[in-house]
Amino acid sequence: METELRIGVFVCHCGINIAGVLNIEDLCRYADTLPNVAMVQANVFTCAQKGTSEIEKVVKEQGLNRVVVAACTPRTHEPIFRACCQEAGINPYFFEMVNIREHCSWVHRHNKVYAQAKARDLIRMAVARASFLEPIGTFSSRVEPKAMVIGAGVAGMTCALAIADQGFEVILLEKEVRMGGLLRHLHKIAPCDVTASKLIGEKVAAAEKDDRVKCFTSARVEEVTGCIGNYVVKFSSGQESYTDKVGVIVVATGGVPLEPVDLFNYDGKRVITQSQLEARLKKGDIEAKSVVMIQCVGARIPERNYCSRICCMVAIKNSLHMKKAVKDAKVFVLFRDIQAYGVENEALFLKAREEGVRFIRYRLDNPPVVEDGRVRIYHPGMGKEVSLPADLVVLSTPIVASSDSEDLSKVLKVPVDENKFFLEAHPKLSPLDFATSGIYLCGNARFPATVREATYQALGAASRASIILSHDTIERVGTVAAVEAELCSGCFVCVKVCPYKVPRMNENGKAEIEPMQCQGCGICVAECPAEAIRFRYASDEQITAACNALHAPQEIRSEN
Amino acid sequence: MEEILTMVEEFDRILVLGCGGCTTVCCAGGAREVETLATLIRMDRKQKGKPVETLEAVTELQCEPESVKPILEKLANQYDVVLSMACGAGVQTVAQLFPNHNALPALNTLFTGRAEEHGVWTENCLACGDCVLWRTGGICPVTRCAKSLMNGACGGASEGKCEVSKDRPCAWQEIYHALKRLDKLHYLKQEPQVKDWPVHPGKVVREDLREGEATRVD
Amino acid sequence: MSLKAALESGKFVVTAEVAPGKGTDVEHLLEDAAVIKERVDAVNVTDLQSSVMRLGSMAFSHFLTDVGIDPVYQVTCRDRNCLALQSDLLSAWALGIKNVLALTGDHPTMGDHPKARPVFELDSVSLLDVIGKLNSGVDMAGNELKGKPDFLPGAVVNPGADNEAALDLQIMKMETKIKAGAKFFQTQGVYDLDAFEKFMKRVEGFDAKILGGIILLKSVGMARFMNKNVAGVFVPEPLIQEIKAAENKAEASINIAVRLVEGMKDLCHGVHIMALGWESKIPQILDTAGL
Amino acid sequence: MSSFEPLIAVFSCHYCSYAAADLAGSSRIQYPPNIRIIKVPCTGRVSANHILKALERGADGVYVAGCLEGTCHFISGNYKAQKRVQYVKALLSEINIEPERVEMHFMSAAQGSKFAAVAAEMTDVIKELGPSPLNHSRY
């Protein structure tokens, strides 16, 4: 370190949140004794305007080059203080925060003596770590103002059109021969009885007409390299191969209804699926007088443990259409639980019951038995088994992930869950993003969704994607790993352990990590046998310093 | 570990010396392992009330005197013993360069192999001096057959696994499959082969690479 | 009649097998051998069977010659390098031993000294080759011998290998062994005559005598143990049930052996009976089978 | 031994257990004051050497608290950490230090109460084990 370390420690009262338990004065006095500490100050609310401007002022006046704030959680307040450091003219990463509120005063309220000792320890560890902080800069790269949307079902097309509407070019890939996805086969869409083919037909027409949307059918993604703002995609459409650059990627590959092979005597003729029923309703080719629908076929069982969410509504919708299509038709719905959330769906459910659709509950351990022309079921209301007439048996099967989702997940290096549905970065905080930045998801590819939900998600994903596309460049903080070539032994360990497959060997036999792609987890740093990977954001020196400071050098920890 | 701790028992200043070559690549004696071993030794000795000083260093290639010399010279007088995390060749390089220092091996060099996956290594070469891979479909019977058989399988394999361990595939059955793929099964019907076990030369000389004047050949 | 003469005569040959024990006691084993002396053409002496340290096969083979039994001296490559093997072979000949069975040997991990260092410098094939060289009056290095042996070399083959690759490898190796000089083969224990017949078809025309191996099934437990642990031996379930159901297990075992001997009469050139301590039952088996 | 208050280092992942500790705080769940958190971006960043150093430098116990199984923000960092914890346990056994002093725990950002429970549990475990054999001089 060329210049002398001058650490400033700011201890926050947080009103009485901290000061009510901890003796701030003692902490300040203690901090002052720690190595490299040039200055200690207490504030009532460090994060308030007064507090931050005070830090800026003191840093400048006292020539501090490292800042430690002992206050609340960095998860909410770190950005404020980093900005404050920047304002004061030092690198925002010359800042270390220590949490003496959530991790101390709030959780050890009744144990003030120990809490005080712990707060001292935490401050000591933070100061020790601060001595090893390194400046971290940002870097930027150009954004390719183009998106790729994979899947041209209702979600993919809605998303692609929305991105195009923002003025960006979109590559829209569909693996089937025709665009439209599942909606091509459906009849009417609940709850407002929109004709599926009309809805999807309009979208297909719009996509085909829009110059900014380049549609490719019979398409397959072959390879994706690069990173947010600058993905290089190789894909094929029919026999042709293409390579293009896009800034963002949206996964909208949808799902497929499970084909109930070997379940309930499924034969596709007299025992059919809901989608097959819709096809018949669409053609008007139906005359069954008595229909039995069975719910949760192949769903909510040990090997497929999830509820597909939409099948109950599909059954309710189709039971009403049956009633309309065939006069005096009898419809029975055999269910385990009914999933009809939301005002309109609940209303439809009531309507079906009013119109005479009979709902009978069954249990997984005593399922209905499909026989020729009849279905036997234990009727809990009657307390005995009944035999229902069934000209037609309709099985409600779940939406399952499309068969190629796992392959695509490998190409894109994004995760899928145990049922092979794509997994978002966070269910609540980032429901439309993948952990890999610049890749988004919507529709059935994530989890079974209604048309309405798929549309919401598609518009949301389009909005997330457009945020990136609307900037000329993208800036990233360098909290990433970097190989020190002279130490690298060329062992390929980092290449093998990186969950994002970012490191690669260069022509000199040394590993290289593309900073734009690095996600900053530090896994390779901890694995590299030559300790040749530097990670400024959480370096070995910083962590070791914190470990070394766990225990005060001279203090005797005797409690007697 | 216990063996190492016994080895260094008498010493109070230990230089743990890693190697940036093979032992780094196979995660046995690079900077990371040096740090781990040094820490463990310190912890053990602290526990026993006989604290010890450790120095940590990594040579680029410990089997190369030019790489070892400067580091050890720089650290001279700061340690009583070198605990080498290189292979036997590295340990002996240190021992030979500095005959008055104690050089101890921290590793038991097991084999020459390759990384199957991160964390899994297989033995593939015994440096036997008489390579037969050309007629065994690229599968080494010397290392991969428990008995190093040269003339085909023994009768001990069951379900394709070696009699020695169920985790170990019968090398000769693998050779059979490989040769079958290559359409070279006739290699298995050769004259009886007696493996040539050459005396390990202990030294290999390539005159063309050596310094000095060429000897005239008339 | 010596084993060599018996094989050349074209008669259906019978050999048996004894395993020296751990220690120096040989009297007991010699008594066992005496029981079958008149009924068999030769008796194998195993070489540290299953890698368990025991009295050596050369010494016991020599004792057998003393009581007028033609021994088959088994030699494995596990414990000796090529110097020791050649020297032992010369010693054996000097002690009057005329038949050698060349084996690779089990790995030491199978035995009671699992950490012993295995040698395996030679294997069964190269050992046969060496025997051939010694017979011709030179050693491996080509040096001439003063006085040379005239061993009858034999080898083993496992007809019950459990997959195609393993069986192909066995048969190819058998051919190599014949090339290397093997004059007769004793097979691993056979229980499935159909499979054995198929095996014999595949080796039809091979220039060597084949003696089908028969291991006496002493109990259900032993059968199951072999199925689980002995490579290439498979006792079919019906045979296990037969013993299980039998009141007199020994009798059932003898009946099975008799059927196997009878079946083999038309398939191969003789039988090699591994009685594992039930040597006294061999005469009864041979009587019943009409030998 | 009632006076023995162990010092326990916790390597906490920024995305889950650190957040869980924050939540424990804002929910005012009280737990023993023996733990000291060292924040890391992902528990996959924690190497065996870090754990060893924490023990060497005075910790009586160390645990790594990562995301719930299958939910690591960085896909697999928590499993890597788990493996390294197992490796450290094996190393500790070699030098006769109780492997129970080192542990791996999994929790989500929403599990403030679990964070507190784990802190209490580890404190109990280490109290039971007594001071680290490296720290006898301290007490």
Query: Chain centroid to CA C210: how far?
Result: 11
Planar angle of CA A300, A303, A306, nearest 5 degrees = 35
| Minimum CA–CA partner of B31 in chain D | D49
pLDDT reported for residue D76: 87
CB-based contact A496 B118, cutoff 8 Å: yes
Give the start-to-end residue ranges of the domains of chain C: 3-288
Each residue of D64-76: pLDDT tens digit?
999 988 778 788 8
Above 90 in pLDDT, residue B208? no
Percent of chain D with pLDDT over 70: 96
Rounded distance between C-alpha atoms, residue A116 and residue A559, angstroms: 13
pLDDT reported for residue A141: 87
Among C156-160, C279-283, D17-21, D70-74, where is mean pLDDT lowest? Answer: D70-74
In order of A313, A317, A322, A338, A380, the CA distances from A352 in angstroms are 11, 8, 11, 13, 20
Each residue of B23-78: pLDDT tens digit?
888 888 999 999 999 999 999 999 888 999 999 999 988 988 888 999 988 988 88
Q: How many CB atoms lie within 10 A of CB A262?
A: 8
Q: Mean pLDDT across chain B, nearest whole number?
A: 87
pLDDT reported for residue C287: 93
Token pair of B108 as six digits: 């038991």
pLDDT reported for residue B215: 65
CB-based contact D49 B32, cutoff 8 Å: yes
Cis peptide before A191 (omega within 30 of 0): yes
pLDDT bracket for residue A541 (50, 70, 90):
very high
Above 50 in pLDDT, residue D123? yes
Q: Which residues of chain D have a CB within 8 Å of the CB of B2?
A: 94
Above 90 in pLDDT, residue A239? yes
Which ranges in A338-390 belong to alpha helices (H)?
Answer: 343-354
**Domains of chain D with bracketed CATH:** 8-129 (3.40.50)
Each residue of A403-452: pLDDT tens digit?
999 899 988 878 888 899 998 887 777 899 987 889 999 999 999 999 99
pTM of the model as a whole: 0.74
pLDDT reported for residue C135: 97
Each residue of B114-149: pLDDT tens digit?
888 888 888 888 888 888 898 898 999 999 999 999
Contacts of C163 (CB under 8 A, 6+ apart): B159, B160, B173
Q: Which residues of chain A have a CB within 8 Å of the CB of D36?
A: 118, 121-122, 125, 550
Q: Which of A496, A497, A530 lies nearest to residue B24, judging by beta carbons?
A: A530
CB-based contact A529 B58, cutoff 8 Å: no
Each residue of A254-295: pLDDT tens digit?
999 999 999 999 999 999 999 999 999 988 888 899 999 999
Which ranges in A231-272 belong to alpha helices (H)?
Answer: none
Q: Which of B33, B34, B43, B56 to mutate to test the interface with D (most CBs of D within 10 A)?
A: B43
Above 60 in pLDDT, residue A554? no
pLDDT bracket for residue D2 (50, 70, 90):
low
In order of A220, A247, C244, the CA distances from A437 in angstroms are 22, 11, 69
Rounded distance between C-alpha atoms, residue A449 and residue A167, angstroms: 28
Planar angle of CA C226, C231, C232, nearest 5 degrees = 95
Q: Are strands A188-189 and A194-195 parallel, antiparallel or unpaired?
A: antiparallel
Percent of chain B with pLDDT over 90: 30
pLDDT average, residue stretch A63-81 = 94
Each residue of A111-156: pLDDT tens digit?
999 999 999 999 999 999 999 999 999 888 899 999 999 999 999 9
DSSP class of residue A104?
A: I
Coil, strand or helix at A476? strand
Give the start-to-end residue ranges of the domains of chain B: 2-105, 116-188
C-alpha torsion sign, points B112, B114, B119, B120: negative
Q: By CB neighbour count within 10 A (0-12 exposed, 13-18 middle, 19+ buried), where does B60 fall?
A: middle
pLDDT bracket for residue D138 (50, 70, 90):
low
CB-based contact B40 D47, cutoff 8 Å: no
pLDDT bracket for residue A1 (50, 70, 90):
very low
Above 70 in pLDDT, residue C32? yes
| Minimum CA–CA partner of B176 in chain C | C165
Above 60 in pLDDT, residue D1? no
For chains A and B, tell me whether 3 or more CB atom pairs sit within 8 A of each other: yes
pLDDT reported for residue A531: 94
CATH of B2-105, one of 3.30.2320.50, 3.40.50.2300, 3.55.40.20, 3.40.50.2020: 3.40.50.2300
pLDDT reported for residue A556: 39
pLDDT reported for residue A425: 80
pLDDT average, residue stretch C242-271 = 93
Q: Are strands B81-84 and B102-105 parallel, antiparallel or unpaired?
A: parallel
Q: Which residue has the higher pLDDT, A213 or C276?
A: A213
Each residue of C234-247: pLDDT tens digit?
899 999 999 999 99
pLDDT bracket for residue A559 (50, 70, 90):
very low
pLDDT average, residue stretch C150-168 = 92
Neighbouring chains of B at 3+ CB pairs within 8 Å?
A, C, D
For chains A and C, tell me whether 3 or more CB atom pairs sit within 8 A of each other: no
Closest CA to C131 of C145, C113, C111, C117: C145
Q: Hey, is the C-beta of D2 within 8 angstroms of any chain B C-beta?
A: no
Q: Which residues of chain B have a CB within 8 Å of the CB of C105?
A: 147
**Fold type of domain C3-288:** TIM Barrel (3.20.20)
Closest CA to C195 of C224, C232, C165, C141: C232
Above 80 in pLDDT, residue A537? yes
Q: Hey, is the C-beta of C165 within 8 angstroms of any chain B C-beta?
A: yes
pLDDT reported for residue B217: 62
Q: Which residues of chain A have a CB within 8 Å of the CB of D40?
A: 522, 538, 543
Query: Chain centroid to CA B63: how far?
Result: 12
Q: Which of B132, B135, B144, B147 to mutate to test the interface with C (most CBs of C within 10 A)?
A: B147
pLDDT bracket for residue A2 (50, 70, 90):
low
Q: Hey, is the C-beta of D56 within 8 angstroms of any chain B C-beta?
A: yes
Above 70 in pLDDT, residue A32? yes
Q: Hey, is the C-beta of B113 within 8 angstroms of any chain C C-beta?
A: no
ipTM at complex level:
0.76
pLDDT average, residue stretch A478-489 = 92
pLDDT reported for residue D28: 95
pLDDT reported for residue B199: 67
Each residue of C277-289: pLDDT tens digit?
888 899 999 999 9
Above 70 in pLDDT, residue A560? no
Q: Which residues of chain B have a CB within 8 Å of the CB of C175?
A: 189
Q: Mean pLDDT across chain C, nearest whole number?
A: 93
For chain D, how many residues are written? 139
